[in-house]
Structure 1
Amino acid sequence: MTDARPPVTDRETWAAALADLRRREKAATRELDAIAAQRRRLPMVELDDYTLTGAEGPIRLAEVFDGHSQLIVYNHMWNDGATFQCPGCTGFTTQFSRLDYLADYDARFVIITPGPIEEALAYKRRVGNRMDWYSSAGTTFSADVDAAQGEGFAVNVFLRDGDTVYRTWHSAGRGTEQLGFVFGLLDVLPYGRQEEWQDSPAGWPQSPTFTRWRGAEEIAAAYGEPDA
């Protein structure tokens, strides 16, 4: 806990300060709308006919869409043989537990990792992940979408036309934040994310980046299947 607090003022002064902030928030919303409009106008690039591996065995990338025309892929970081994988990837994907509504928009969200499928499925159970997992092991898929083993995580979006798959969008690092809800919730709190890189008033609680994030072991204990 901290004794630091925002200054206390009267209702009128608070409302005026909020209105000033609201103008910036509205401007940011309009800018995000414009960015999304530009994203919808991006060209796309045709991909090879990759064969990945799923829970039921080999599966073509076009089949991963499960009949939908759009696919969002979280490319999960992976270390072969590790009991617990990247805590950032593990925590980020834990946010997504109810994705059926994407089908109403002709879309699907899955995880693809370069790790062996047996390890990937075991890890899914261990940490209580809800999405379907696929492995790109033995293919160049992960490297071709900027998520090679040892290089980090990414989000990629694809469009399917029959059996042909196109890559339409990619992001990594903080560019993936917009897909989750946790950071958005933290950012409206008085103390924010409480990470030392953030611009906060003097005395606000701040910690080194990542230190408040839950580790993969904690996530497994909270959400995973027993003995997975």
Structure 2
Amino acid sequence: MEQELPRNHPPVVSPQLWQAAWAEMLVKEKAHARARDALAAERRRMPWMAVEKAYLFEGPDGQMSLIDLFEGRRQLIVYRAFFEPGVFGWPDHACRGCSLGADQVSHLAHLNARDTTLAYASRAPQADIARLKARMGWEMPWYTITDSFDADFGVDEWHGHNVFIRDGDRVFRTYLINSRGDEAMGSVWSYLDATPLGRQEAWEDSPAGYPRTPPYKWWNWHDNYAAEAAPDPKWVEVSDAGEAAFRNDPETKA
């Protein structure tokens, strides 16, 4: 049955009045975007905490260390998902909230291109995790917690994304996003904004010496990163033109 609109909905106006209202709201949208960028810049200056304990996980091929979860990359984001006995949905499903979040995960190739790995971790055995991933169509690496990792990093009773960076075999915890902050996670940008190196683009406010590349240029089709060592010249031309038009448009200018 078709539902009626709420009685107290906003007024219906002409295209001209709508455009004026949108332009007024856009000023606030841009202020919000700049505040979000400033917050991410502060995250990149958060102190790091050395991880001294040797944590162990179970993966599809056996036992793995926290270092192994990086898959050779410099940054790691570990989401603690609740899929285990005692959680609503077991054994057919993971927690509904965690599952909704898993459905939002963007294609991992784009994160990997920024030297960043995303992994999920639960206390369910690997056989159950494999079954769940196949049922739900999820492709992120998903490991079994075997020790106090979840308790030590504040995610034993509630979900959350812990962020790590490594220097060789040394691992550092850099950030934690949990509670309502978790609901917005899933896009390439929400993940990268939580990391110590950020989006690694030239416009960002990052400490001196941090990796920076021009925006847009590193973007690629998710199946083409490995094949293309440098940005395609045609894509550079297209993205330059698009960026110039974007920057010169007063309505979209950041």
Is the 2:101–2:185 Cα contact (8 Å) retained in structure 1? Answer: no
Aligned to 1:142: 150
Query: Which of 23, 27, 31 matches 1:19?
Result: 23
C-alpha distance in structure 2 between counterparts of 1:78 and 1:3, whole Å: 38
Query: Residue 83 of structure 2 contacts residue 93 of structure 2 at CA under 8 Å; is this kept in 1?
Result: no
Unaligned 5+ segments in structure 2 are: 191-254
Matched, 1:169 2:171: no
93-102 or 162-171, larger mean C-alpha shift: 93-102
Indicate whether 1:71 and 2:80 are aligned: no
In the TM superposition, what is the alpha-carbon distance from 1:75 to its structure 2 partner? Answer: 0.8
Q: Residues 105-144 of structure 1 correspond to what in structure 2 (within 5 A)? A: 105-137=114-146, 139-144=147-152
Task: Count residues in correspondence.
Answer: 179
Q: Displacement, 1:163?
A: 1.4
Q: TM-score w.r.t. structure 2 length?
A: 0.66
Quick one: distance in 2 between partners of 1:134 and 1:119?
11
Residue 189 of structure 1: aligned partner: none
Deviation at 1:45, TM superposition (A): 0.8
> CA 1:97–1:30 in structure 2 vs 1: closer, same or farther (change >3 Å)?
closer
Match of 1:49 in 2: 54
CA deviation map 1:19-76 (0-9, x unaligned): 1111111110010010000000001111122121100000111011111010111110
Matched, 1:33 2:41: no
Matched, 1:94 2:100: no
Distance in 2 (CA, whole Å) between partners of 1:115 and 1:122 is 11
Is 1:179 matched with 2:188?
no
RMSD: 1.8
Q: Offset of 1:97 from its aligned partner?
A: 4.9
Residue 246 of structure 2 is matched in structure 1 by none
2-structure distance, mates of 1:10, 1:117: 58
Residue in structure 1 matched with residue 164 of structure 2 by the alignment: 158
How many angstroms apart in 1 are the aligned matches of 2:155 and 2:5? Answer: 43
Q: Distance in 1 between matches of 2:66 and 2:5?
A: 54
Which amino acid in structure 2 is aligned with residue 28 of structure 1? H
Structure 1 Cα separation of the partners of residues 37 and 60 of structure 2: 38
Give CA-to-partner distance per residue, 1:134-171, whole Å, 9 cap, x none: 1112x1111111111xx121111110111121111101
TM-score normalised by length of structure 1: 0.73
Gaps of 5+ in 1: 185-228
Higher relative contact order structure (alpha carbons within 8 Å, sequence separation ≥ 6):
1
Residue 169 of structure 1 aligns to which amino acid in structure 2?
Y
What is the aligned counterpart of 2:5 among 3, 6, 16? Answer: 3
Aligned residues: percent identity? 35
Cα distance in structure 1, aligned partners of 2:77 and 2:102: 12
- Which amino acid letter does the alignment assign opposite residue 120 of structure 2? I
Q: Note the alpha carbon deviations across 1:85-130, whole angstroms, 9 max, x for none.
A: 2011011111225111112111111111122222222222222211
Tell me if structure 2 keeps the 8 A contact 1:97–1:129: no
Q: CA deviation at 1:11?
A: 2.3
Amino acid corresponding to residue 170 of structure 2 in structure 1:
T
